[in-house]
Structure 1
Amino acid sequence: MSRHLQKVFIWITASLGPLSCAVLLSGCGGDIGASAPSGQVGQTAPGGASTTTPPAGGTTSQPTGQARQKALVIGVSGVQYSALQQTVAQHQAPNLAQMAIVPALAGGIAGTPTQQATLAGPGWATVLTGTWANRHGVRQDDATQTIATDTVFKLAKLANAQGTAEISSWSTLDALLSGDADASVNCAGVDSCVVKAATAAISTGNDDLIFANLSGPAAAAQSAGLQAGYLSALATADQEIGQLQTAIAARQKQNGVNENWLVIVTTDEGLDATGSESGLPLLSNETAFIASNQPLTVGSTTASTGTIAAKPTLAQLQAGATQADITPTVLSWFGAVANPTLYAIDGTSLIGKIGPRLLQATPGSDKASLNLSWALPPTTPSQLLLYRDGTLLATLPGNTQSYADTQLGKTTSGAYSFNYTLVANGAAVSTLAQINYVQSVVLDPTLGSGLIHFFSFDKGLTDAITPGVALAQFNATSTTTASFVPDSFGFNALQVASLISTPNAENGMKLTDDVSNKPQFSFGFWFYSDDGQSDSPVISNKNWESGGNPGFNIAEESGSQLKFNISDGKSRSDAAINFTKNAWVYVAMTIDTSVQTAVGYIYDPTYGMQSATLSMSGFDMSKIAGIYSTIGFNEDATGNYYARGYGNLGTMTFNDIAMWNKVLTSAQVLSLGASTHSLSTLVPGSGGN
Structure 2
Amino acid sequence: MKQILTICLALLTGAATAQQRKAVFIIVDGISADVLETQPVPNLSSIIQSGSYLRAYVGGEKGGYTQTPTISAVGYNSVLTGTWVNKHNVWDNDIKDPNYHYWTIFRTFKSHFPQKKTAIYSSWEDNRTKLVGDRLEATGNLAIDIKADGFELDTVRFPHDRKKAYMERIDAHVADVAAKSLREHAPDLSWVYLEYTDDMGHMYGDSPEFIASIQKMDEKVGQIWKAVQYRQQRFKEEWLIVITTDHGRDENSGKHHGGQSFRERSGWIISNIKQPNTYAKISYPGVVDIMPTIARFLQLPLPQHVARESDGIALSGKISVAHPQVHHYNGTLDISWVSPDPGGNVKIWVATTNAYKTGGTDEYRLLAEVPAAQRHAVVNVKDLPSEFYKVVLEGKENTINRWWLKN
Same fold (TM over 0.5): yes
Alignment match, 1:241: 221
1:504-583 map, 5 Å: none
Structure 1 unaligned spans of 5+ = 1-16, 18-60, 303-315, 437-604, 606-689
Alpha-carbon displacement from aligned partner over 1:34-89 (angstroms, at most 9, x marks no partner): xxxxxxxxxxxxxxxxxxxxxxxxxxx9955766110010111101100000014x
Which residue in the other structure is 2:158 paired with?
Answer: none
Following superposition, the deviation at residue 369 of structure 1 comes to 4.9
AA at the equivalent of 2:292: P
Partner of 1:262: helix, strand, or coil? strand
Alignment match, 1:402: 376
CA–CA distance in 2 between the matches of 1:291 and 1:408?
46
8 Å CA contact retained: 2:244, 2:267 = yes
Partner in structure 2 of residue 228 of structure 1: 208
Mapped partners of 1:70, 1:124: distance in 2:
20
Pairwise CA distance, 1:159: 4.4
Aligned-partner SS, 1:285: coil
CA separation of 1:83 and 1:195: change in aligned 2, threshold 3 A: same
Aligned counterpart for 2:109 among listed residues 156, 164, 168: 156
Cα deviation 1:160-216 (Å, max 9, x = unaligned):
371111222244434332315333332324112221231233123352000001112
Q: Look up the equivalent residue of 1:260 and give its one-letter code.
A: E
* Correspondence 1:382 to 2:353: no
Tell me what 1:268 maps to: 246
Cα deviation, residue 405, structure 1: 4.0
Give, in whole Å, the separation in 2 of the partners of 1:342 and 1:245: 30
Secondary structure of the structure 2 residue equivalent to 1:140? coil
Partner SS for 1:280 = coil
Instruction: Work out the CA distance in 1 between the residues paired with 2:305 and 2:347.
Output: 11
Q: Could you tell me which of 19, 33, 44 is aligned with 1:81?
A: 33
Determine the C-alpha separation between the residues in 2 that align with 1:69 and 1:408. Answer: 48
User: 1-side partners of 2:206 and 2:393: how far apart?
Assistant: 41
Match of residue 298 from structure 2? 334
Q: Which runs of 4+ in 1 moved over 6 A?
A: none
The equivalent of 1:278 in structure 2 is 257
Contact 2:277 2:316 in 1 (8 A): no
Which amino acid is the alignment partner of residue 381 of structure 1? G
CA contact (8 A) 1:66 1:258 kept: no
Match of 2:132 among 156, 177, 181: 177
Pair 373,286 (structure 1): closer, same or farther in 2 beyond 3 Å: farther
Q: 1:297 to 1:92 in 2, by over 3 A?
A: closer
Report whether the alignment pairs 1:140 with 2:92. Answer: yes
Checking the alignment, whether the CA contact within 8 Å between 2:82 and 2:310 is kept in structure 1 is yes
How far the C-alpha of 1:295 sits from its partner, in A, is 2.7
* Aligned-partner residue type, residue 325 of structure 1: D
- The aligned amino acid for 1:376 is S
Question: What do residues 107-161 of structure 1 show as CA deviations (whole Å, max 9, x unaligned)?
Answer: 1112321111111122111111111111111122213332431101011224437
Larger Rg, first or second structure (1 or 2): 1
Partner of residue 294, structure 1: 273
Distance apart, 1:386 and its partner CA: 2.2
1:125 matched to 2:104? The reply is no
Task: State the secondary structure of the residue aligned to 1:430.
Answer: strand
The structure whose RCO (Cα within 8 Å, separation 6+) is larger is 2
What is the CA RMSD across the aligned residues, in angstroms?
A: 3.0
User: What is the rounded CA distance, in whole Å, between the counterparts of 2:258 and 2:103 in structure 1?
Assistant: 24
In the alignment, the residues of structure 2 paired with residue 350 and residue 119 of structure 1 have an alpha-carbon distance, to the nearest angstrom, of: 24
User: Would the alpha carbon gap of residues 335 and 214 (structure 1) be closer, same or farther in structure 2, given more than 3 Å must change?
Assistant: same
Alignment partner of 1:145: what SS? Answer: coil
The TM-score, its normalising length taken from structure 1, stands at 0.48
> Helix, strand or coil for the counterpart of 1:184?
strand
For the residue of structure 1 that corresponds to 2:264, the secondary structure is: helix
- Structure having the higher helix fraction is 2
Aligned mates of 1:296, 1:279 — CA distance in 2:
32
Corresponding residue for residue 355 of structure 1: 320
Tell me, in whole angstroms, the C-alpha distance in 1 between the residues paired with 2:119 and 2:111. Answer: 15
Counterpart residue type for residue 69 of structure 1 = R
CA separation in 1, counterparts of 2:305 and 2:103? 17
Correspondence 1:435 to 2:405 = yes
TM-score by length of 2: 0.78
* Alpha-carbon distance in structure 1 between the residues aligned to 2:378 and 2:196: 47
The structure-2 alpha-carbon separation of the partners of 1:408 and 1:70, relative to structure 1 and needing over 3 Å to count, comes to farther
Change (3 A) 1:111 1:66: closer
Does 2:188 correspond to 1:208? Answer: yes
Secondary structure at 1:103 match in 2: strand
Q: Following superposition of structure 1 onto structure 2, how do residues 451-490 of structure 1 map, counting pairs within 5 Å?
A: none
Contact 2:39/2:211 (CA < 8 Å) preserved in 1?
Answer: yes
Matched residues in 1 for 2:202 and 2:33: separation? 16
Q: Match of 1:118, as an amino acid?
A: T
Q: Which residue does the alignment assign to 1:193?
A: 173
Percent of pairs with identical residues: 23
* Greater strand proportion: 1
SS in 2 for 1:359: strand
- Which whole-Å deviations, capped at 9, do the CAs of 1:339-394 have from their partners, x for residues lacking one? 557632110101123332223434x255x6544332211x2213222223544332
SS in 1 for 2:268: strand
Q: 1:334 to 1:168 in 2, by over 3 A?
A: same
Could you list the per-position Cα deviations for residues 574-624 of structure 1 after superposition, in whole angstroms to 9, with x for gaps in the alignment? Answer: xxxxxxxxxxxxxxxxxxxxxxxxxxxxxxx1xxxxxxxxxxxxxxxxxxx
How do residues 598-677 of structure 1 correspond to structure 2 at under 5 angstroms? Answer: 605=407
Match of 1:508 in 2: none
CA distance in 2, matches of 1:240, 1:80: 18
One-letter identity of the residue aligned with 1:227: S
Alignment partner, residue 397 of structure 2: 426
